Structure 1
Amino acid sequence: MRGPPKAPAQEADNLRTGNEAPTFLGTQKRLPEFNLVDRVVLVSGGARGLGLAQSEALLEAGAKVYALDRLEKPSPEFYNVQAKAQKELGTSLHYHQIDVRDEAGLNKTIEKIGKENGRLDGLIAAAGIQQETTAFDYNAADFNRMLEVNVTGVFLTAQAAAKQMVKFGNGGSIVMIASMSGTIANKGLACPAYNTSKSAVLQLARNLAAEWGTHGIRVNTISPGYILTAMVEDLFVKFPERRAEWSTQNMLGRLSQPKEYRGAAVFLLSDASTFMTGADLIMDGGHHSW
């Protein structure tokens, strides 16, 4: 079992001298179960968007984060977060280019990360693709590609991470990014392959949670609603009417921002959720609760 999380050196000094900021969380005095100091976490799809937003939150909680993505270079925002991690947070953000369908490459990369750190504590599997095509027009190649990335890729990443967690014997927490689209059909959208893939992620997580629980590995999912990412903004250029339509389809009357999923990432990867596994955290503004 893990011992209590440690506070960074400066925070420890503040604790001793009584100069700790009154609003600081995750130290020995304030909600220590959220403290991720000394934890090593992987984030697939971490080069931009939701994955990067959650990576930043993990860094702020003290974790050392490794982003995995297929992009040759991460987004410009990535480098800002990387600099913040080193200069302000006393931790680090690293990048590895990898396609989640590359089984051998994934295992080699994740094994190397584990060996370098002597541990692996968490994974957020956020890598995924989307394609809007009607069921009549979808071809087998495109449908299979969707499943390969969104389901097989998620499984292979989780498998490689879990092997390292078992190797080091500290257990761990795996979070898979599913979607509200895994439980509902999106009104006005033709996404049969994407929605199928996200439903599969929900079931995959339940089965891995059942199988790996004896190793101290928890597996949960997050099901976001519509997120206002750069990709969605580009979609609104083509379909401007969707901005208003999507906003009226949930109980809050707006779209979500990537930053609104930061807390969920820290919660599920920290000791704040040690008795939670095989569960789905739905964060869709009440979209499918009408």
Structure 2
Amino acid sequence: MSKTSSAIAQRLPDPSTIEGKHRFREFELNDKVFIVTGGAQGLGLALAEALVEAGGHVYCLDIKSEPEQDFHDTKQRLAPQYDGTLHYKQVDVTKHDQLDATISAIADRHCRLDGLIAAAAIQQVEPAISYPYEDVPRMMGINYGGVFLSATICAKQMIKHNTPGSIVLVGSMSGLIANKGLMCSVYNSSKAAVIQLGRNLAMEWGQIVDGKPIRVNVLCPGNIITPMVVQNLKDDPTLKGLWERENMLGRISEPSEYRGAALFMLSNASSFMTGSHLVIDGGYTAW
């Protein structure tokens, strides 16, 4: 066996230790530990649920003092069915010391940290010409700065515990295009910055732990029915029809439609993927 083949084999479960018929074992996350920021509801929670089902211990971090009822319902539904676990911690992703203490405590408790989904973000719809300047650093601080802090703090814990893993930054197709009918220049700019951040972190951390990588990729969803988008559609009822027409599939997506992508990107199934952005947008950007 070549040196490269041997290294790949070490990252996958030993077939001799697996009982019964196991297919696609590279997707399993058994006993691995993950952080999901923005996990109180919406997309973050949907992605966290998939990681739990695959066997992961998942900690959802959000600024809310208590998560939405959907979180409690999801936790109750998952508990009797899967070996993975779902937890919640209140944290502000723009506060370095608070975020560092929370993530460090989680990693120290398990003596490992295997992955991150950085999904915390806000949106503000406003024409650029009337956009309050003081709101620019606030949005960039959360949508970019919070992602940067989350990624770097998690990477430090992966290095500390010698458990190099996978980091998924949640960008958006909005980081690649201007959304028709939606005036959110600063939000779109913040998502473009996240895509570029993913490339640079992947480059820096490609062989950081004894020659082993911390992989970094960006998930770029299209229009999703989340609380943020629901508010957009309330503010401007014409957007729903416009967005549906602009998608080749003729509809807006649900958060659950990104579960498979998140599991792929965080598991060994994507072991040769880093520095990439995965666009899942119903064909919006493919015209």
- TM-score w.r.t. length of structure 1: 0.91
Name the counterpart of 1:19.
Answer: none
State whether structure 2 residue 244 is matched by structure 1 residue 247: yes
Name the counterpart of 2:216.
Answer: 219
Name the counterpart of 1:143.
Answer: 136
Task: Return the letter of the residue paired with 2:72.
Answer: Y
CA–CA distance in structure 1, aligned partners of residues 44 and 76 of structure 2: 17
Identify if the C-alpha distance between structure 1 residues 84 and 90 changes in structure 2 by more than 3 Å, giving closer, same or farther. Answer: farther
Name the counterpart of 1:170.
Answer: 163
Task: Return the letter of the residue paired with 1:146.
Answer: M
CA–CA distance in structure 2, aligned partners of residues 108 and 232 of structure 1: 32
Calculate percent identity across the aligned residue pairs. Answer: 49
Alpha-carbon offset, residue 242 of structure 1: 1.2
Task: Return the letter of the residue paired with 2:192.
Answer: S
Instruction: Provide Cα deviations, 1:229-252, integer angstroms capped at 9, x if missing partner.
Output: 133223322322211111001111
State whether structure 2 residue 274 is matched by structure 1 residue 281: no
Name the counterpart of 1:59.
Answer: 52
Question: What is the aligned counterpart of 2:254 among 248, 252, 257?
Answer: 257
CA–CA distance in structure 1, aligned partners of residues 235 and 161 of structure 2: 49
State whether structure 2 residue 69 is matched by structure 1 residue 76: yes
Identify if the C-alpha distance between structure 1 residues 149 and 29 changes in structure 2 by more than 3 Å, giving closer, same or farther. Answer: same
CA–CA distance in structure 1, aligned partners of residues 165 and 282 of structure 2: 29
State whether structure 2 residue 84 is matched by structure 1 residue 91: yes
Task: Return the letter of the residue paired with 2:57.
Answer: K
**1:153-168 paired onto structure 2 within 5 Å:** 153-168=146-161
User: After the TM superposition, which parts of structure 1 deviate over 3 Å for at least 4 consecutive aligned residues?
Assistant: 1-7
Task: Return the letter of the residue paired with 2:161.
Answer: F
RMSD: 1.7
Contact residue 208 and residue 219 of structure 1 kept, 8 A: yes
Contact residue 5 and residue 36 of structure 1 kept, 8 A: no
Alpha-carbon offset, residue 6 of structure 1: 8.3
State whether structure 2 residue 24 is matched by structure 1 residue 31: yes
Identify if the C-alpha distance between structure 1 residues 142 and 226 changes in structure 2 by more than 3 Å, giving closer, same or farther. Answer: same
Alpha-carbon offset, residue 172 of structure 1: 0.6
**1:116-127 paired onto structure 2 within 5 Å:** 116-127=109-120
**1:174-193 paired onto structure 2 within 5 Å:** 174-193=167-186
Alpha-carbon offset, residue 188 of structure 1: 1.3
Name the counterpart of 2:268.
Answer: 271
Instruction: Provide Cα deviations, 1:106-157, integer angstroms capped at 9, x if missing partner.
Output: 1111110000001000000000000001111112210111100000110000
Alpha-carbon offset, residue 288 of structure 1: 1.0
- For these two proteins, the number of residue pairs brought into alignment is 274
Alpha-carbon offset, residue 85 of structure 1: 3.1
Aligned-partner SS, 1:140: coil
CA–CA distance in structure 2, aligned partners of residues 163 and 273 of structure 1: 22
Identify if the C-alpha distance between structure 1 residues 80 and 5 changes in structure 2 by more than 3 Å, giving closer, same or farther. Answer: farther
Task: Return the letter of the residue paired with 1:70.
Answer: I
Instruction: Provide Cα deviations, 1:32-51, integer angstroms capped at 9, x if missing partner.
Output: 00000011010000110000
Contact residue 114 and residue 158 of structure 2 kept, 8 A: yes
Contact residue 54 and residue 84 of structure 2 kept, 8 A: no
Question: What is the aligned counterpart of 1:44 among 1, 21, 37?
Answer: 37
Name the counterpart of 2:3.
Answer: none
CA–CA distance in structure 2, aligned partners of residues 53 and 94 of structure 1: 14
Alpha-carbon offset, residue 3 of structure 1: 5.1
Contact residue 175 and residue 221 of structure 1 kept, 8 A: yes
Contact residue 53 and residue 83 of structure 2 kept, 8 A: no
Instruction: Provide Cα deviations, 1:215-241, integer angstroms capped at 9, x if missing partner.
Output: 210000011110011332233223222
Aligned-partner SS, 1:256: coil
Aligned-partner SS, 1:214: coil
